[in-house]
């Protein structure tokens, strides 16, 4: 079986996404016949067949992301090739095999990266051996890090062996990773926590709907948390309508569809049920993931009282709701058993003051306390 590996379709691209297959297993193909449309960061390109022969296996579905150098198509037989050297899936020189998105963006965070003294060859070696140069003291002239330093560091950790055979992040899980990395790079988060006492609630109530109502009330009371912030332009935009991102967990990863105009939406429960079903069936349209002005994460379904949920820019706030608990509380001088909802609020301190966050949380609690 001859395997065609995804080449670098641009200039130093770590991966590309399958847009459309033009062939299927068993098809007879000619040299240079278009096999698949691949989308890169810059272009949609047609990948032609390197050989004439019969297609054996396609190594991915449409929408899948394939790393540069990873198998793309296997041929079950080949009838004609150009003079073949073994195809390594590389182009000019030695391409990095790893997905460059994570380590490179994460490195930007490390202030000390700028102070690393190492030649490009040593940096390359460190990447290959999964050695973090920020934690190495150089033994070369002027404290430069040498190849030997990197090799010693690699030998004393077991990172090199445990980091092989990685399962690549795909789809929603990959989107989550990118969103979290972006947040970590940009946002200056601060969190406050408190409880809402709900002993006054009358009858069975839809907890999620009560929380959404309370968030909308708090957004009206303190609009600076229902906002977007642009760190580059250093400007914020406050909203009067609440477009609520609702975090929904699934086996595939984290989905956050948006409920538009949550403040006066009679269909709230239906929308939430629909979203949950669509997430389960993986039929949720991608346009439903855009435009949130604030997010709710109901993380305490099984366990967990408080958290520091992550703000996803350009939003400036996220409300986390923990597991409802029964506590012994004091009411009018009497110790009584009542139910509390633990609340966690994370806000982007670049755009929101502590006072604003505190007032928001106050309004949230006040609304939740209401009998109905």
Partner 1 sequence: MSLQSSIVAEFAITYMRFLDADGQLTQDLPESLNNPELLRKLYEYMVLNRTFDAKAVALQRTGKMGTYPSSGGQEAIGVGVGAAMQQGDVLVPYYRDHGAHLVRGGKIEEIYLLWGGDERGSDFATLKQDFPVAVPIASQCLHAVGVAKAIQYRKQTRAVVTFIGDGGTSKGDFYEAINLAGVCKLPVLFVINNNQWAISVPLSEQTLCKTLAQKGIAAGVPGEQVDGNDVLAVYEATRNALKKIRAGEGPYIIEALTYRMCDHTTADDAKRYQPPEDVETYKKEDPILRLRTYLASQKLWDEEQEKALYAQVKHTVAQAVHAYESIPAQPPTAIFDYLYATLPHDLIEQRDVLLASLGENHHE
Query: Which stretches does DSSP call E strand in the chain?
Result: 2-5, 15-21, 28-29, 34-39, 44-48, 52-58, 65-67, 71-80, 189-197, 227-230, 235-238, 244-246, 248-250, 253-255, 258-259, 294-297, 317-321, 325-331, 334-348
Q: How far is the CB of 52 from partner 1 (least distance, A)?
A: 12
DSSP 95: P
Q: Are 198 and 339 in contact (CB under 8 A)?
A: yes
> What is the residue-wise DSSP string for 157-187?
SSHHHHTSSPPPP-HHHHHHHHHHHHHHHH-
Q: Which is nearer to partner 1, 46 or 260 (CB)?
A: 46
Task: Give the binding range for partner 1 (CB under 8 A) out of 89-97, 110-118, 266-274, 285-293.
Answer: 89-97
Q: Which of 2, 90, 183, 191 binds partner 1 (CB under 8 A)?
A: 90
Answer yes or no whether residue 241 interacts with partner 1 by CB under 8 A.
no
Q: How far is the CB of 10 from partner 1 (least distance, A)?
A: 4
Answer yes or no whether residue 229 interacts with partner 1 by CB under 8 A.
no
Answer yes or no whether residue 209 interacts with partner 1 by CB under 8 A.
no
Answer yes or no whether residue 85 interacts with partner 1 by CB under 8 A.
yes
Answer yes or no whether residue 43 interacts with partner 1 by CB under 8 A.
yes
Q: Are 246 and 260 in contact (CB under 8 A)?
A: no
Burial class (CB in 10 A: 0-12, 13-18, 19+), 322: buried
Answer yes or no whether residue 87 interacts with partner 1 by CB under 8 A.
yes
Q: What phi and psi values does residue 276 have, to the nearest 5 degrees?
A: -60, -40
Task: Give the burial string for 171-209 (b: 16+ CB within 10 Å, else e).
Answer: ebebbbbeeebebeebbebbbbbbbbbbeebeeeeeeee
Answer yes or no whether residue 60 interacts with partner 1 by CB under 8 A.
no
Task: Give the binding range for partner 1 (CB under 8 A) out of 84-92, 199-207, 256-264, 342-350.
Answer: 84-92
Q: How far is the CB of 13 from partner 1 (least distance, A)?
A: 8
Answer yes or no whether residue 83 interacts with partner 1 by CB under 8 A.
yes
Number of residues lying near partner 1 (CB under 8 A): 31
Answer yes or no whether residue 243 interacts with partner 1 by CB under 8 A.
no
Answer yes or no whether residue 84 interacts with partner 1 by CB under 8 A.
yes
Q: Which is nearer to partner 1, 72 or 294 (CB)?
A: 72
In this structure, the strands spanning 317-321 and 294-297 are parallel
Answer yes or no whether residue 108 interacts with partner 1 by CB under 8 A.
no
Any bridge partners for residue 253, and if so which?
250
Q: Which of 25, 44, 155, 163 binds partner 1 (CB under 8 A)?
A: 44
**Residues in contact with partner 1, shown as a per-residue x/- string from 114 to 133 under the rule CB under 8 A:** -------x------------
Answer yes or no whether residue 50 interacts with partner 1 by CB under 8 A.
yes
Any bridge partners for residue 330, and if so which?
335
Answer yes or no whether residue 147 interacts with partner 1 by CB under 8 A.
yes
Closest by Cα among 73, 52, 77 to 6: 73
Residue ranges in contact with partner 1 by CB under 8 A: 4-11, 32, 42-50, 82-85, 87-93, 121, 147
């Amino acid at each position: 079986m001859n395997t065609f590996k995804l080449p670098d379709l641009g200039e130093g691209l770590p991966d590309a996404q399958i847009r459309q297959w033009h062939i299927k297993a068993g098809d007879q193909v000619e040299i240079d016949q278009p096999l698949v449309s691949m989308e890169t960061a810059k272009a949609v390109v047609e990948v032609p067949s390197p050989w004439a022969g019969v297609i054996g296996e396609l190594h991915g579905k449409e929408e899948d992301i394939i790393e540069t150098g990873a198998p793309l198509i296997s041929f079950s037989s080949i009838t004609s090739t150009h003079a073949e050297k073994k195809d390594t899936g590389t182009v000019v020189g030695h391409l990095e095999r790893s997905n460059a998105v994570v380590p490179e963006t994460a490195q930007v965070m490390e202030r000390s990266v700028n102070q690393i003294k190492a030649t490009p060859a040593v940096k390359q070696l460190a990447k290959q051996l999964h050695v973090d140069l920020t934690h190495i003291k150089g033994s070369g002239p002027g404290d430069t890090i040498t190849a030997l330093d990197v090799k010693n560091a690699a030998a004393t950790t077991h990172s090199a062996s445990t980091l092989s055979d990685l399962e690549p992040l795909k789809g929603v899980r990959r989107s989550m990773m990118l969103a979290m990395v972006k947040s970590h790079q940009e946002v200056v988060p601060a969190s406050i926590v408190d409880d809402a006492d709900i002993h006054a609630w009358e009858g069975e109530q839809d907890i999620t709907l009560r929380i959404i109502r309370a968030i909308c009330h708090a957004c009206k009371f303190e609009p600076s948390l229902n906002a977007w912030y642009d760190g580059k332009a250093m400007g914020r935009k406050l909203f009067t309508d609440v477009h609520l991102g609702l975090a929904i967990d699934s086996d595939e990863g984290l989905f956050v569809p948006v409920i538009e105009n949550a403040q006066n939406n009679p269909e709230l429960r239906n929308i939430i049920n629909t979203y949950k079903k669509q997430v389960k069936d993986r039929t949720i349209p991608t346009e439903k993931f855009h435009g949130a002005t604030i997010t709710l994460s109901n993380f305490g379904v099984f366990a967990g009282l408080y958290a520091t949920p992550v703000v996803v820019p350009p939003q400036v706030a996220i409300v986390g709701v923990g597991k409802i608990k029964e506590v012994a509380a004091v009411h009018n001088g009497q110790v009584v058993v009542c139910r509390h909802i633990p609340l966690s609020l994370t806000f982007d301190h670049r755009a929101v003051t502590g006072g604003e966050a505190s007032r928001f949380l106050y309004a949230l609690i006040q609304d939740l306390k209401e009998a109905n």
